Structure 1
Amino acid sequence: MHAIESAALTKTYGKNTVVDHVDLQVPPGQVHALLGPNGSGKTTTVRMLATLSSPTSGRAAIRGFDTVRQANDAKRQLGLVGQFHAVDPRLTGRQNLVMLARLNGFHAAKARKHANELLDRFELAEAADRVVSTYSGGMRRRLDIIAGMIVRPAVLFLDEPTTGLDPHSRNEIYGYVRDFVAEGTTVLLTTQYLDEAQRLADAITILQSGRVIAAGTPEQILATVPAGLDVVIDDPLRYHEVLSVLDGFGGSPTDPRPDQQHSPIGLSFMFSGEAPGLLPVLRALDAAGIAVRDIGARVTTLDDAFLALTGRDRITA
Structure 2
Amino acid sequence: MTSERVAVESAKGVNGLEKIILRETRGSSAEVYLYGGHVTSWKNEHGEELLFVSSKALFKPPKAIRGGIPLCFPQFSNLGPLEQHGFARNKFWSIDTDPPAFPTNSSSKAHIDLILKPSEEDMKIWPHSYEFRLRVALGPGGDLMLTSRIRNTNSDGKPFTFTFAYHTYFSVSDISEVRVEGLETHDYLDNLQNRERFTEQGDAITFEGEVDKIYLSTPTKIAIMDHEKKRTFVLRKDGLPDAVVWNPWDKKAKAMADFGDDEYKHVLCVEAAAIEKPITLKPVVNLILRESSRVAEDPLLWSLYVQVS
Give the number of the structure with larger relative contact order, counting CA–CA contacts within 8 Å between residues 6 or more apart. 1
Q: Which structure carries more strand by proportion?
A: 2
TM-score, normalising length: structure 1: 0.23
- Counting helix residues as a fraction of each chain, which structure ranks higher? 1
**Structure showing greater Rg:** 1
